[in-house]
C-alpha cells in the first residue's frame, strides 16, 4: 500500500494565510480609495458613508484575532467582533 504524499507544513500554511490576508487588505484599501474619489466627485454622502463602513470593517483586521486567518500569530490580540 502506497503512503500518501506529505501535505504542506504548518509554517507554509501560515505564510499562505498571512499573504492572503495582506492581499485582501490591499484590495480593501484600493476599494476604499475608489469609493472616496467617487464620493467626492459625486458629492454623495451615502457613498461616503458606504466607504466609511468599508474602512471600519477593514482597518482593525490585522490586529484582531477574530478577523485573522492566522490566530496563532496574533494569539494575544484583542477580539474584535
Separation of alpha carbons 45 and 38, rounded Å: 11
Query: Total domain count for the chain?
Result: 1
* pTM to 2 decimal places: 0.60
Residue 4 placed within a domain:
no
Residue 2 placed within a domain:
no
User: Domain range for residue 44?
Assistant: 12-67
Residue 81 placed within a domain:
no
Residue 68: strand, helix, or coil: coil
Residue 75 placed within a domain:
no
Residue 1 placed within a domain:
no
Residue 40 in contact with residue 14, Cβ under 8 Å? no
Residue 19 placed within a domain:
yes
Residue 7 placed within a domain:
no
Per-residue pLDDT of the chain (81 residues; tens, 9 = 90+): 567 667 888 888 888 888 888 888 888 889 888 988 999 999 999 888 887 887 777 766 655 545 444 444 445 555 555
Amino acid at each position: 500500500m502506497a503512503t500518501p504524499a506529505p501535505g504542506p507544513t504548518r509554517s507554509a500554511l501560515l505564510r499562505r494565510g498571512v499573504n492572503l490576508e495582506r492581499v485582501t487588505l490591499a484590495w480593501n484599501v484600493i476599494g476604499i480609495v475608489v469609493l472616496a474619489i467617487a464620493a467626492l466627485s459625486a458629492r454623495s454622502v451615502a457613498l461616503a458613508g458606504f466607504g466609511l463602513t468599508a474602512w471600519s470593517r477593514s482597518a482593525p483586521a490585522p490586529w484582531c484575532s477574530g478577523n485573522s486567518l492566522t490566530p496563532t500569530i496574533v494569539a494575544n490580540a484583542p477580539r474584535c467582533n
